[in-house]
Every structure is written in C-alpha cells, then in structure tokens.
Structure 1
Amino acid sequence: MPISKNKLSLQAKWEEVRQFYPWYKSITGDRDAMDWGDIPLLTQERLLPYYESDEQAVPQEWNVYRTSGTSGNKRKAIYYDAIDEEAYIQYKIEMFAELLKGYNVSRALSDMGTGHAEATAVQIFEGIGLACESVPFGLPAAAHLLRIADYQPDVLYTMPSLLDGMLRVAPPDFKWGLQCVILVGEPAPPAWRQRVAERLGITEHDVMDTLGSIEIGTIAYYDQSIERYVVMDGVIAEGVTPAEAGLPDVELPPGEQLLVLTSLVRRRFPALRFVTYDVVRDLRVEEQDGKLITTFEAIVKRVGPELKHGEKISIYDIENAIFQHVQQAVVKVLVNGNKLQVMITTVEVINEALREVIRDELHSTIPAIGAMIRGGLLEEMDVVFLSNDMDDPSPEGSGKKPIKQKKLFVQQASQRSDGQ
C-alpha cells in the first residue's frame, strides 16, 4: 500500500471507481474489500471501454478534452464535470501561488497552444490576483513576440517547444522583461532551463517546471530547494516495471520505472492505478519539514507499444547533453527503421572539435542509445549540425514558421508515430 495514504481514502476511491464504471467492476469481480496489491493496473488495453464510451451519454455541461488516439484511431475523449474542473483549477491556483511566492508580479501571459491548460489559464492566474491574457495558438512565432512586447508580462506560462519557437526568431536585443517562466507539457532538462534563462535574462531558478496529465490533472512541480519534482497532495505516485504493465519486451535502466498514478480527487476518470507510460527516474518517498512527500528526479520519456524503437529515446537526456555545450538550438530526433538521427539547428558556429565533444556526450550520457547501437538494434547515431532549418521554406528568423515543432519523429515503414 502506498506510504502516507490512509486505507479509508483508498477504500473510498476503490468504491467510487467501481460505482461510476461498471466495466471496471467487471474486471475486479464482486469483492467489496480492497486489497491494494490486488487492484489491477489500468493499462491502455483495460481503459479502452472508457476511451471508447459513447459521448452522447455524457451530460452536455461536462467539459471534454481530446488527446492522442486509441488503437482504433479514435481520439481519446477525457471528461471533467464541474467538480473535477473546480478541483483542477484550485490545485493549480495553489501550485502557482507557491511557485510565485516572493515575486512581485501583476501580469501573466498564457502562451499554451490548445487543451486543458490553455482553457483554464486565465481563470487560474486571475485566481491568484494577476491579470492574464492568452495568445492564440495559430499565430506565427513573430506574432507571439509582439504580444510579449505589447503586454509586457511579468510571468510567461508556456510549453518548452513553444518557448523554443519564440527563442528561435527573437533578435538578440529583444526585451523580454520577464521575471519568471512557468512551463508545462514537455521535458525541460536542467541544461535546457539554464540556457533558456540566459537568453531571457533571468536565473535558472526563475524557469519553473510543472507536470500534468490530461487524464489526471496536475501531477507535480519542480522544487528548486531540493532540485526534484514534488508530487501534489491527493495524488499517489507509484513506479512499476514495464513487464508489470504488459510491456515485457521493454527494458529500462536501473532507477527508472513506469509512472502509475492514483488521484483521490479526480472523479470522471477511473484514476486508480492509471499507467501513464511515462518513465520516471528515481521515484521515492522522503520527509520534508516533518511531512512525507513523493519526489522524483524527472520524467525522461514515454514508452508504449505504438512507439517501437522510439520508446528507448529520451528527449530529456538528449537535450540535456546538447545544451551543456550549445547556448541555443532546435533539436529534432528522427528514428527511421533502425537509424537514429539527431539534428541540431543553431546559429552558433560549431567547429569540428565541439561537434566531436557533443557526439561523445550523446553516446556516453545516454546508455540506452549506446546499448542499442552495440547490440545492432540501431545503426551508429548520425548527429547532423545545421546552420538553418532546412525544412523551413521561409527565411530563418522571419517568424513565419509555426511556433510549435515536434521533437521526436518515429517512422516505421509506412507507419509513423510522433512521440512528443
């Protein structure tokens, strides 16, 4: 049983899920007593009845958010009723208030693309007393910079890939005027955060990271004082092996596990031992200020049967290695068959000596890649340095290119999956 969680709360959660979801009761049997070790892991296969439920039976006042598709190519619909939505908003209000403690800020700009985080951002920042505006996702990169220049926010709430897009087109003398950045949605390794802070004219501690899941809601935030992610109250985080989650062919290095989440507040999703397929590094329970908390070093990648070789590729580790040597770059990783290509686009001058250092860094700091190459699963890594983005028909720095770009491309014959 998870440490620091009382049995009554877990029993109530067990009864709630069985009451709301008849299909869940059918896979757990008629027993009423809950034994944590006997509660099944909610894998993607077991969740298909939820994901493929008839939307017409859902009350119209519920909010619906969509994510990547099921094996039947139907996009997953994730529901939030009024109680779930209020809990989600309150969790974020508390988290943002904690992150912004000590800052004298009055204006926030949400540049989040689409989805649940974008839809609720203005309400959340207003809930902690800040004025907030949201940038439309479809604008070209340069227009996002113009919005920052006009609105002059103290806080920028965005995703790493969107911030990369803005940095790509921002002139060196652009006045960001930010006190801090709050991130969500994608890996933000330490070396990347440091380089971003240098470009924005703030400290690494001012680049704050948060983690969430469309199914669960807010999961964790990065605590600068302990340099680890802290799991939110009301969320139980476990680590399991891939084999336990039905992926016997997937191997992870020591200290890495699949993240499994239970939410004691989420209702309109069966949030009981939900397998996220995210790989969490160094998950543990520890004491902080007399209280037991769950922390981890990072979420480094995602695994799953649909990703093929891409399940071994950690964008987190690749970017962390590259940004130790490069100040600004756009990093793309292509897995095509058994060939791995890392494309690094930068305006910096990279001489051959530095190129070799970066190549060596990628091989030595990412053991999974080296093991796949030595074992013949992948060919020798191809590290390509570009002075501009060859995929972009518009001039580099024009800001006409879409602001968000995928980082991991996995291609298997005629089937392609994008892993970010």
Structure 2
Amino acid sequence: MPHITATALRAPAPAQAPARAAELAALAAGHAQRFPWYRDLLLRRGALGSGDSSDLPLVGTGLLGAHYYTAEHPQLPDASAYLTSGTSGGQRKRILYSPADDDAYVAQRRALFGEFTQDVPRGAVAVADLGTGHAAASARRVFLELGFEAHDIDFTRPVDEHVKKLNAWQPQVFFTMPMILDRLLQASPGLDIRPRKIMVVGDVAPPAWRAHVAERFGLRPGDVLDVFGSIEIGAIAYSCADTGLYHFHDHILPEVLPPEDLPGLTEHDRVPSRREGSGALLLTSFARSYFPAVRYVTGDAVTGLRRLRHAGREVFAFERIDGRLAGDLKHGERISNHDLTQIMAEVFPGRPFEAADDDGLVIRVVADTIGDGQLAAVRTAIDRQAPDVAQMIASGLVGPVRVRAVPPDGLRSGHAKRRLDLKEG
C-alpha cells in the first residue's frame, strides 16, 4: 500500500499560497465577467481581485435561486442546459455547461474510469443505467472514448426491461445508482450478469453496501467504485480502496465550515461537527466556467476533510458524507444518512429502503416480513451510531424507530434515488 500521511483541515490552506491565490482571483474575476450579479456581489464586499478565499462570498441556494437557476443568460449563447429538481419557487433548476465544461467533465470521468477499468479489455461491453441528468447524458460518451462498446438504458422503462437488456448485453463494466442496483437485484426474473467493475453515483453508498454488492457479484470490494458528483459542479470525488477515504478530483478546492456559519440555516437544519475537518462542505472548481463554483455551498455535511500525501502526490480527501444539512432525518435528534444506509446494508443487504417522518422515524424496506431479530439489530445499531437519539428513546421523549415491510411497488422513492427525508401524508 502506498505511504500515506494526512493533515486535518478546516480551511483550504493551499488557497493562500501565491500561485493558488492568483488562480483563485482569476477564477472569481472570470465569473464576475460572465455573471453581472456576481460582479456586483464582489464589488460590495471589496473582494474583486482578491485571491484570499475568506474574502470571497459563499454561493448558496439563495443567491443561485435569485440570479442563476431560473434566470435567462443571453450572454452564454453556446450553453447546454440540464434540468434538475425544483427551486423553492416551484420552477426546475437550469444548470448551464459550456462546451469546455462538458469536455472537462468527460475528461475527468474518462481518467478515473480508465484507471479503474484498466484490466478490462477495450471492446468489452459497458452499460450506464443512471436515470436522468448530466451524468447520464455523458456516460455513453465517456465509455466510447475509453474504447468500450457502450449502451445505456432509458430510465423511464420498467425494471424488468432493464433486467432483460442487462442480461442480454452482459456488461463487464456497469455504471448505475445504488437505489437502481438494489431494485435490479430484487427483480423477478432475476438479474444474471457478471460485471468485472461496478461504478455507482447519486446515493450514499457506504462500505457495508459496497461490500455486499461486491460479494453478490463475486468481486473484491475495491471493484466497486463510489463516485461523488453534482450537476452544479460535475465530478467531485471518488472512493479510494487504498486509503478508505474519498479523494477529490484535482480541479476541486474543498473547505468545510461550521454549519452555524452558513446563512439561512435554522437550528433544525444544523449538523454538529464531529471533529476538526468536519462540517458544511464548500467547493471551488477550477474547471467550471458556466456555473459560479467559487465557495459553492453544496448542502452536504462531511466528516474528516484532510490533505493526503498519497502515491507520490498531494490530494484532498474526506472520510464520509454524513448527509444533507437541510434534509437529514430527525428522531428527536439527528441521524446521519450515512449511518442509516450503513445499518440497512448490514441488516437488510441488497434490500431497497427509504425513510419517512411519520411522527417519528419510519423505515420502509422491501421485504416479506420484518423479523424480531432484524428489528432489534436496526434499533441497536441506531442506538450505537446516534446516542442522543438512543437517550431520547430511553427517556420516553420519542418512540422507538419503526421498520415496516413493503412490496417492491410500496416505496415512494421512484426508481432511482432512495429518499431519506420523506414526509408522510
């Protein structure tokens, strides 16, 4: 294993180095030219021309909702637009990519997937089953440029059609989402493929989940790659089998802030930082031109941001995504999405599930029945991972966590991402 050294971070120290400071100043100035509202914001703060990250404003959903997601951008005539879920005003978000943005994203994915699949012969079949969005739109291009025979599956088709196509194509490389794969593994007739490499994106995929998938397909855990990305930023990070951490792509400059330092969060939304290097994730991308990715507030809470010396080079890495700042579950106190997904992968391996707020936490899992031992295992694991919740249950302030068996069509999450913040009713 390569020699690894690490330093925990709360702010991105390299941004203060002269070379990186000049790069950051140039990046912000470029966005100020493309987006007049961002220029006005820099001028009001006296930050135009500054390369000190602490001078630059946070770019969060409030600013983007007012000036970017639903605005017209006639100054960007060559932009490609990708739509995602709605803003608070009910309109769908439009995220713009320049041709150079698209090329950079494909190059980042190509480099990562190329190294990950280097022992798979070119000309082998690679399939993407990803739903909608930017990752889905670009996956076939990535595979073709890597020399694979590339296919993708229409997200809107029934699950049995997905299984039929996969069984016919027999992919050696499979790129999908955790929730989709969980559902494919529960389908009847069954999924019968033998991929050599699996990549997943879009949901929390903790080590226990990846280990189960690897075992199911007769693979090593390192043959299942978890990819972290967003439509705003593009490629962000990926799981590393050597370190057990998530490594950021080189174009990303990350930092974390205490959630209480973010504007607009209520006490209900906040996630306490576990230790140095943990908190609300902010990202700056040096590879995005048509999205103002400078200190962008992702909405994710992460644990253990650090700098590593790994395989002869310096990288930023983090331990885990704990969940969404404004979307985590609460059962008296907060339960991290990571912990809940890890627990379910241990107790109900391969079973699709979702969690809802129905006067307390209710977990719905695709199963015929829930055994007493399974229910006890879930509750014990939640008590262990969330001791504040355990104390509130013991005190009678909230009831026990409930787990319910549902049929495959009994989930409300849809076919792609599992939902961990559903409201009943």
| TM-score (normalised: structure 2) | 0.86
Name the amino acid aligned to 1:33: G
Which moves more between the two structures, 319-328 or 182-191?
319-328
Is it true that 1:33 corresponds to 2:49 in the alignment? Answer: yes
Is it true that 1:51 corresponds to 2:68 in the alignment? Answer: yes
The 5 Å alignment of 1:169-318 reads 169-170=187-188, 174-246=191-263, 247=265, 249=267, 250-255=270-275, 256-304=278-326, 309=330, 312-318=334-340
Shift of 1:48: 2.5
Q: Distance in 1 between matches of 2:208 and 2:355?
A: 18
Change (3 A) 1:379 1:16: same
Q: Distance in 1 between matches of 2:417 and 2:247?
A: 28
Partner of 1:322, secondary structure, is: helix
Q: Distance in 2 between matches of 1:392 and 1:9?
A: 47
Change (3 A) 1:67 1:85: same
Unaligned runs of 5+ in 2: 1-10
Partner of 2:59, secondary structure, is: coil
Aligned residues: 401
Is it true that 1:352 corresponds to 2:362 in the alignment? Answer: no
Is it true that 1:341 corresponds to 2:362 in the alignment? Answer: yes
Q: Distance in 2 between matches of 1:307 and 1:357?
A: 21
Q: Distance in 1 between matches of 2:217 and 2:226?
A: 16
Change (3 A) 1:236 1:356: same
- The answer for the alignment partner of 2:418 in structure 1 is 406
Which moves more between the two structures, 130-139 or 51-60?
51-60
Is it true that 1:78 corresponds to 2:95 in the alignment? Answer: yes
The 5 Å alignment of 1:65-144 reads 65-104=82-121, 106-144=124-162
Shift of 1:340: 1.1
Shift of 1:367: 3.8
Unaligned runs of 5+ in 1: 394-400, 415-420
Q: 1:384 aligns with which of 393, 400, 403?
A: 403
Change (3 A) 1:152 1:15: same
Q: Distance in 1 between matches of 2:386 and 2:282?
A: 24
Shift of 1:316: 2.0
**How big is each residue's C-alpha offset from its partner over 1:120-147, in whole Å with a ceiling of 9 and x where there is no partner?**
1111111111110110111111111111
Partner of 2:302, secondary structure, is: strand
Change (3 A) 1:297 1:387: same
Partner of 1:408, secondary structure, is: coil
Name the amino acid aligned to 2:390: G
- The answer for the alignment partner of 1:151 in structure 2 is 169
Answer yes or no: is the 8 Å Cα contact 1:234–1:264 preserved in 2. yes
Change (3 A) 1:265 1:136: same
Name the amino acid aligned to 1:160: P
**How big is each residue's C-alpha offset from its partner over 1:24-59, in whole Å with a ceiling of 9 and x where there is no partner?**
122222554313211111121122233355337265
Q: Distance in 1 between matches of 2:364 and 2:70?
A: 41
Partner of 2:27, secondary structure, is: helix
Shift of 1:95: 1.2
Shift of 1:342: 1.6
Change (3 A) 1:165 1:31: closer
Shift of 1:392: 7.2
Answer yes or no: is the 8 Å Cα contact 2:167–2:193 preserved in 1. yes
Answer yes or no: is the 8 Å Cα contact 2:177–2:417 preserved in 1. no
Partner of 1:294, secondary structure, is: strand
Answer yes or no: is the 8 Å Cα contact 2:202–2:417 preserved in 1. no
Q: Distance in 2 between matches of 1:263 and 1:119?
A: 21
- The answer for the alignment partner of 1:16 in structure 2 is 30
Answer yes or no: is the 8 Å Cα contact 2:328–2:420 preserved in 1. no
Q: CA RMSD in A?
A: 2.7
Shift of 1:279: 1.0
Answer yes or no: is the 8 Å Cα contact 2:271–2:301 preserved in 1. no
Shift of 1:364: 1.4
Which moves more between the two structures, 15-24 or 317-326?
317-326
Shift of 1:102: 3.0
Q: Distance in 2 between matches of 1:37 and 1:158?
A: 37
**How big is each residue's C-alpha offset from its partner over 1:83-118, in whole Å with a ceiling of 9 and x where there is no partner?**
111111111111111221333462100101111111
Shift of 1:402: 6.2
Partner of 1:323, secondary structure, is: helix
Answer yes or no: is the 8 Å Cα contact 1:315–1:407 preserved in 2. no
4+ runs deviating over 6 angstroms: none
Answer yes or no: is the 8 Å Cα contact 2:42–2:48 preserved in 1. no
Name the amino acid aligned to 2:198: V
| TM-score (normalised: structure 1) | 0.87
Answer yes or no: is the 8 Å Cα contact 2:353–2:418 preserved in 1. no
Same amino acid, percent of matched pairs: 29
**How big is each residue's C-alpha offset from its partner over 1:365-394, in whole Å with a ceiling of 9 and x where there is no partner?**
234643665788x7223322427447279x
- The answer for the alignment partner of 2:349 in structure 1 is 327
Change (3 A) 1:168 1:84: same
Change (3 A) 1:3 1:371: farther
